[in-house]
A and B are shown apart, each in its own frame.
Chain A
Amino acid sequence: MKKLSVIGICILTPLFLWSNESKKIEVATAKLTAHFPQQSIYFKTLPKIAVDKEGLIYAVDNREHTVFKFNRDGELLANFGRWGQGPGELQWPANISVDKSTGLIFVKDNSGIVMYDPQGSFIRRVRTFTGILNFDAAHGRIAVLEPIPGKQDLIGLYDYQGQRINSIGQKYDLDYSLSKEIAPGLLDRIANDGAALFDGNYVYYVSYLFGEIRVYDLSGLLILEKKLSGPGNLEKYREQYRKIFFEKGVKKNSDGTVTNWRIFGDACLDRGYLYLLMLGYVTGDVYEVLVVDKKSLEIRERIILPDSIYPEMVRAMPSNEKNSISFAVSFQSKTNGAFMVGIFQKYKKEGLR
């Protein structure tokens, strides 16, 4: 009997340790390989960025009303758009997306989504009337995160003519009476803030506030749902925010503002992975990029960004090497406060955590 127990322990212990080990996530650090703009132009705000299939970077500056196109060395190749309301002109551009399959460029400004061809020539302006939180253009569709007041709609799927093809997903079911100080429209925007991403087959919704991911097919059917867990205090903050939004209610601060709670600051989709920018306070340390398998929604890797920056957006860069990960990040330098775009390369494995 004793022998059997010893054999059992000998077999089971390594199995247990192995299974525990496999749950751990690989952690790596990233280094800055290039940053721009270097001279002649500078960003007045933290730019919103997009990357095309050749690795060219498009950065839009909210106060310049202009799109800048750079190569990965930071050389300015072109710029287009200017202040105005005419064809191709922009007013307070707030986000940008590039359809990697066609090279078409989409910029969200004050009055809708402006569409340009890869050379920067104006094609058309699409109006959604909804107060867009985020959007992603890919494979002939624009997935628009637009929680509409008074309706349950979360994401609108549009074609490039601006026709709404389908409604995907539902907003979080909030009890507005709990948060009387906040207008329902604003509460919807805070609670449902996130990213709507499209890969040609599925629409991914990443909740920045609750750290959750939902996957829908094109008919709007929920395929997969995942509450991310693991890094830092992610679960703790999710529970805390759920309590505030679903039990206690949201209150204004003493100065009349509303805290913009978030676990993630940005998300993008590239090939088989979702890249989520996790805010620094979640780990109590620095900002990280979580690499999440888009099929299983499991976190595969944590890439720690340098401590010297406040990152705003992350976009995966194309790469020919299988295990090489690099991404473009728009950030504010902690050293001099400048708004920049940097190319970061994963370079050093820190181990498992």
Chain B
Amino acid sequence: MAKLRVQRNGDKKKNISKIETAFLLIAIFTILTSTYLFYHKGKGSGCKNSISKIIRKKPEYYNNSAIYLIYYLNMTCRPLVDYETIRTYPDLRIIFLFTPDHSDADIQNFKRVFNIDGPVDIGRMDDEWYSAYLKCNKNTWNVNLNFFIFVINGQIVNIKGF
């Protein structure tokens, strides 16, 4: 009985022709490529392009800057990434932009908790920044992230979600 079953399985494998196998491989390749492009290239360029556009409008202001786009921070679980390091960089403008639903009291609480006492710019995102933030924030987990954007000589060198 066991021998028979092996032979049948073997027969089935032989039934798939080389053309069909080729079609199958092409289909799998197409699906994988389009998924990759959709999630990585498409999303990445939308986010980066939008930010680049904003930066190009005010090159002097954003020339050397660290920009935080903040939806939610938590001193214990979601701390402010890299701030302790970049605050020591000379000639670097540090900008904190909060989603528009943050109140003045919220921003005061943020400054107090994170000891933000140096020369930094703090405000809420305008429409353009908020639109860019939403593009960066597209993710399959439906989680709102914060973003850290590092601009050197007018060029975006790093966009980090946290």
Q: List chain A positions with a Cβ less than 8 A from chain B.
A: 83, 85, 87, 110-112, 124-131, 148-149, 161-164, 185-186, 189
B30: A residues at CB distance < 8 A: none
**Residue pair B106, A126 in contact (C-beta under 8 Å):** yes
* Nearest CB of chain B from residue A317's CB, rounded to whole Å: 33
**Residue pair A189, B72 in contact (C-beta under 8 Å):** no
CA separation between A110 and B142, bound complex, in Å? 13
* Nearest CB of chain A from residue B32's CB, rounded to whole Å: 30
**Residue pair B109, A149 in contact (C-beta under 8 Å):** no
Of the candidates B75, B101, B102, B112, which one forms a contact with A131 in the assembled complex, judged by CB atoms under 8 Å apart? Answer: B75
Chain A CB within 10 A, most for which of B72, B73, B110, B113: B113
CA separation between A186 and B79, bound complex, in Å? 13
* Nearest CB of chain B from residue A151's CB, rounded to whole Å: 9
CA separation between A161 and B101, bound complex, in Å? 13
Given contacts A85-B144, A111-B72, contact A163 B108 (CB under 8 A): yes
Q: List chain B positions with a Cβ less than 8 A from chain A.
A: 71-77, 101-103, 105-106, 108-110, 112-114, 142, 144
- A149 nearest CB neighbor, chain B only: B75
CA separation between A131 and B79, bound complex, in Å? 10
B142: A residues at CB distance < 8 A: 83
**Residue pair A131, B77 in contact (C-beta under 8 Å):** yes
Of the candidates B75, B101, B103, which one forms a contact with A148 in the assembled complex, judged by CB atoms under 8 Å apart? Answer: B75
Closest 6 CB pairs of A and B: A131-B76, A162-B105, A111-B72, A127-B106, A129-B113, A163-B105
**Residue pair B76, A127 in contact (C-beta under 8 Å):** no
A125: B residues at CB distance < 8 A: 101
B112: A residues at CB distance < 8 A: 164
B76: A residues at CB distance < 8 A: 130-131, 149, 185-186, 189
**Residue pair A87, B101 in contact (C-beta under 8 Å):** yes
- B111 nearest CB neighbor, chain A only: A129
Interface of B is mostly: loop
**Residue pair B103, A130 in contact (C-beta under 8 Å):** no
CA separation between A126 and B110, bound complex, in Å? 11
* Nearest CB of chain B from residue A329's CB, rounded to whole Å: 29
How many contacting A-B pairs (Cβ < 8 A)? Answer: 57
Q: Enumerate 25 A-B pairs (CB-CB under 8 Å) in ascending A order.
A: A83-B142, A85-B144, A110-B72, A124-B103, A125-B101, A126-B103, A126-B105, A127-B109, A128-B109, A128-B113, A129-B110, A129-B113, A129-B114, A130-B113, A131-B76, A148-B113, A161-B103, A161-B105, A162-B105, A164-B105, A164-B109, A164-B112, A185-B75, A185-B76, A186-B76
CA separation between A230 and B86, bound complex, in Å? 54
Chain A CB within 10 A, most for which of B112, B114, B142, B144: B112
**Residue pair A162, B103 in contact (C-beta under 8 Å):** yes
CA separation between A24 and B14, bound complex, in Å? 87
CA separation between A129 and B76, bound complex, in Å? 9
CA separation between A186 and B102, bound complex, in Å? 27
CA separation between A125 and B71, bound complex, in Å? 12
**Residue pair A162, B75 in contact (C-beta under 8 Å):** no
**Residue pair A111, B71 in contact (C-beta under 8 Å):** yes
Chain A CB within 10 A, most for which of B75, B77, B114, B144: B75
Chain B CB within 10 A, most for which of A83, A130, A186: A130
**Residue pair B75, A127 in contact (C-beta under 8 Å):** no
A128: B residues at CB distance < 8 A: 109, 113
CA separation between A227 and B77, bound complex, in Å? 31
Chain A CB within 10 A, most for which of B105, B110, B114: B105
* Nearest CB of chain B from residue A187's CB, rounded to whole Å: 11
Given contacts A130-B75, A130-B76, A149-B76, contact A162 B106 (CB under 8 A): yes
- B105 nearest CB neighbor, chain A only: A162
B144: A residues at CB distance < 8 A: 85, 111
B103: A residues at CB distance < 8 A: 124, 126, 161-162
B73: A residues at CB distance < 8 A: 129
